[in-house]
A and B are shown apart, each in its own frame.
Chain A
Amino acid sequence: MKRYLLGWMSAIFAATALATVLSPAVAAVRATGTVTVAWHQPPVINLTLTPNYYSGFGSILATFGTQPSPTHGPGATGVGTGTVDFGTAIAGDTYLYKYAAHLHITTNDPSGFYIYGEAAAAVVNNTDGTTYPVSQALYYLNSSATSDTNTGFSPGLPFAQTSGSVSGGSDSISNPPTITYSSYPSPIALSSTGNGDYYYDYQFKVPDTATNGNYYVWIVYTVVGK
């Protein structure tokens, strides 16, 4: 009986093995395909930000007709240095600051870059702590390397206060801010080539209700490759 069972088991095993070997369907099951792997190599981007980039920089009261000579506050220490310091400004008046900022951008990205320019926070009166929306106080205008015809009444575009995550910028001297973006805002300029120079004047529209004091706001420029 035992030998009988062993014989049957051997026969079943042999038949199964033979069926496995001879079955073309099972023998042909293979998955093949192609996978395309693509990656993005981040470009190298250099930004040089120069304040007061040309002689004759400074603040001018918004005036029609002949323009007065520019002046500036003590923070604007010279051509290419210091801060954009409007100096004394009267509440309710509008001022143009000529030759405020020059952005020199070089990249190895042939498709170009975006420029974002935003305020790290609202405009702050450092004297009493009051704040004012930057979008109603500070504007930017296109300029050029050595001249422009802008006045305090020329059309400017408002800076926005960033919705990104801001580190630093809590004072006006030694703590410059950085902005970390989870999504970028609308660019203030873009380039379809790898390098570029951008020149800006600023306008300061002092709020009617502005209290006396020393005001400041940080503008943060960010350049991102396309």
Chain B
Amino acid sequence: MNRFRLALVAAGIFVLGIVLVQPVKATISSLQSQIAITIVVNVTPSPIAYDPVAAPAARNTQPVITSSLALRAGPPALRREFAAESLQFEPGSTVVAQAQSPLLVQAEVTPNPKATLLYSNGGSVVINAIAGSTVQVPCAFTVTVDTTSSWSLDEGLSSDFASDFSGTTLANDTFVNSATPLPTSTPYVVYADDGSKWSLAASGDKMTTYCVTLTLTVPGSIPGGTYSSNAVYSLYY
């Protein structure tokens, strides 16, 4: 009887151990590799913001260089004014004052022992967009996880593009490279705004390459200029 009880207790401890160890195992997965793809956005101001007709009219009435000559003694047909809007000086006659100074940037690069675990096919993506428009970049970059461990891949933007240009305006459709794109895109979480958290992009236990299609909606109020953020991918197992 005592042996039977001991066996039951041992079995109970074993089962309890299995039950307890599984979540622990899940929580002890650690960051193995992290990559960032820079997203550069060149915003052109919305055309609604200015009157395109005004420019040529102003140019006709306010030439930069003008001169006039009246032929007072000639017949009326010869009494013309001559405008010299197109008068150009020789390029060599234009003197531009400038000052110039160079700066050397150096680094000693060594191989990355984890470079094969998580990598992308590009370090940056440039998106040109007009304020108030939506731009889609099909398969802007790929992300490859290359391990047979049971892994999870997190994603998110490191920060907003600007204080008035939220990172959530950028959505991603992350799908297996050999498969068809998903029907919808998901806005990136922004690490700096969303409680320092990432979102789960995918999980698996074999090498997988994902294609990331980006969809950016630029608010109409965004001034023209260049903005950037980083799409960060973190591999855990």
Residues of chain A whose beta carbon lies under 8 Å from any beta carbon of chain B: 25, 28-36, 38, 40, 42-49, 51, 62, 64-65, 73, 75, 83-95, 100-101, 105, 109, 120, 125, 135-139, 152-158, 169, 172, 176-179, 202, 204-208, 210-225
Which residue of chain B is the closest to A221 with respect to CB atoms?
Answer: B101
Contacts known (A29-B74, A31-B71, A92-B35); A158 close to B104, Cβ less than 8 A: no
Contact check: which of A152, A179, A218 meets B103 at CB < 8 Å?
A218
**A64 touching B196 by the CB < 8 A rule?**
yes
Please name 16 further chain A to chain B contacts, defined as beta carbons within 8 Å, in addition to the given A45-B99, A65-B196, sorted by A numbering. A44-B97, A45-B98, A47-B99, A86-B106, A89-B108, A90-B112, A91-B109, A136-B38, A215-B107, A216-B105, A218-B104, A221-B101, A222-B98, A224-B96, A224-B98, A225-B96
SS class of chain B's interface: helix, strand, loop or mixed? strand
Which of A153, A169, A177, A216: most chain B CB closer than 10 A? A153
Asked if B70 CB lies within 8 Å of chain A CBs, one says yes
Specify which chain A residues have a CB less than 8 angstroms from the CB of B110 in the assembled complex: 88-91, 212
Specify which chain A residues have a CB less than 8 angstroms from the CB of B112 in the assembled complex: 90-93, 208
Specify which chain A residues have a CB less than 8 angstroms from the CB of B73 in the assembled complex: 25, 28-30
A-B contact pairs, 9 of them (CB 8 A): A31-B72, A33-B68, A45-B97, A64-B191, A158-B124, A214-B109, A220-B100, A220-B103, A223-B98
Asked if B177 CB lies within 8 Å of chain A CBs, one says no
Specify which chain B residues have a CB less than 8 angstroms from the CB of A35 in the assembled complex: 67
CB distance from A156 to the nearest CB of B (A): 6
Asked if B212 CB lies within 8 Å of chain A CBs, one says no
Which residue of chain B is the closest to A134 with respect to CB atoms?
Answer: B105
**B103 touching A153 by the CB < 8 A rule?**
no
C-alpha spacing A155/B165, complex, angstroms: 12
C-alpha spacing A97/B223, complex, angstroms: 28
Q: How many A-B residue pairs have CB under 8 A?
A: 207
Contact check: which of A83, A154, A169, A218 meets B158 at CB < 8 Å?
A154
Contact check: which of A48, A155, A213 meets B228 at CB < 8 Å?
A155
Contacts known (A64-B191, A208-B120, A222-B100); A84 close to B105, Cβ less than 8 A: yes
Specify which chain A residues have a CB less than 8 angstroms from the CB of B138 in the assembled complex: none
C-alpha spacing A179/B36, complex, angstroms: 32
Residues of chain B whose beta carbon lies under 8 Å from any beta carbon of chain A: 34-36, 38, 40, 65, 67-74, 95-112, 114-115, 119-120, 122-124, 158-159, 161, 191, 196, 226-230, 232
Contact check: which of A46, A135, A137 meets B99 at CB < 8 Å?
A46
CB distance from A122 to the nearest CB of B (A): 12
Specify which chain B residues have a CB less than 8 angstroms from the CB of A207 in the assembled complex: 123
Which residue of chain B is the closest to A213 with respect to CB atoms?
Answer: B109
| Interface pairs A-B: 6 shortest CB-CB | A42-B97, A153-B158, A47-B99, A86-B107, A49-B101, A83-B104
**B227 touching A155 by the CB < 8 A rule?**
yes
CB distance from B146 to the nearest CB of A (A): 12
CB distance from B221 to the nearest CB of A (A): 19
Specify which chain A residues have a CB less than 8 angstroms from the CB of B119 in the assembled complex: 92, 208
**A136 touching B124 by the CB < 8 A rule?**
yes
Specify which chain B residues have a CB less than 8 angstroms from the CB of A218 in the assembled complex: 102-105
Contacts known (A42-B97, A157-B40); A49 close to B106, Cβ less than 8 A: no
C-alpha spacing A82/B148, complex, angstroms: 46
Specify which chain B residues have a CB less than 8 angstroms from the CB of A25 in the assembled complex: 73
C-alpha spacing A38/B97, complex, angstroms: 18
Contacts known (A36-B67, A94-B36, A224-B97); A153 close to B109, Cβ less than 8 A: no
Contacts known (A136-B124, A155-B230, A158-B38); A212 close to B102, Cβ less than 8 A: no
Specify which chain A residues have a CB less than 8 angstroms from the CB of B232 in the assembled complex: 153
Specify which chain A residues have a CB less than 8 angstroms from the CB of B229 in the assembled complex: 155
**B115 touching A83 by the CB < 8 A rule?**
no
C-alpha spacing A92/B122, complex, angstroms: 10
Which of A62, A64, A83, A222: most chain B CB closer than 10 A? A64
CB distance from B65 to the nearest CB of A (A): 8
C-alpha spacing A138/B105, complex, angstroms: 9
CB distance from B169 to the nearest CB of A (A): 14
